[in-house]
Amino acid sequence: MSQKTIALVEASSLKTEIPQFAIGDTVDVHTRILEGEKERIQIFNGVVIARSGTGSREMFTVRRIVAGEGVERKFPIHSPKIAKIDVKRSGVSRRAKLYYLRDRVGKAVRLREKRDEAAIAAGSAKKAAAKKAAKG
């Protein structure tokens, strides 16, 4: 088949609204699960340790600790089984893949939080307004 035909077929299956998230971010992945005839949403939260692929084959890996044991799941970004992806926290990462977190235990697994300058400015403006209201 030609590349144009493949591109057209893939374009029809791509999602339009994908949140911006990067390696090191803590995310909640809402997945649709079928149990018999009922459908429910299950949330898998953890740190994004890898992204791979392009187009409809794009995947990301999320890692979390459950009962002292590391659990990793790979999700296709454009899958209809994924209801939504919530970014809870942005972490600072200097690597493309965070596989080194597999060897770490406890507090060593934590990543530094990425500080958003706009959010910091808004927070300091709120504090100044609160101080002014408290004085007078």
**pLDDT, averaged across the chain:** 85
User: What DSSP state is assigned to residue 100?
Assistant: G
Q: What percent of the chain has pLDDT over 70?
A: 91
Which H or E run includes 45? strand 38-52
Which H or E run includes 66? strand 59-66
Q: What residues form DSSP beta bridges with 48?
A: 62
What does pTM read for this prediction?
0.75
pLDDT of res. 86: 92
Q: Are 27 and 45 in contact (CB under 8 A)?
A: yes
Domain residue limits, the chain: 3-135
Q: Are strands 26-35 and 38-52 parallel, antiparallel or unpaired?
A: antiparallel
User: What DSSP state is assigned to residue 113?
Assistant: B
SS3 40: strand
For the domain spanning 3-135, the CATH number is 2.30.30.790
- Is the pLDDT at 22 greater than 80? The verdict is yes
pLDDT band of 26, cuts 50, 70, 90 = very high
pLDDT of res. 1: 60
pLDDT band of 124, cuts 50, 70, 90 = low
pLDDT band of 69, cuts 50, 70, 90 = confident
pLDDT of res. 135: 74
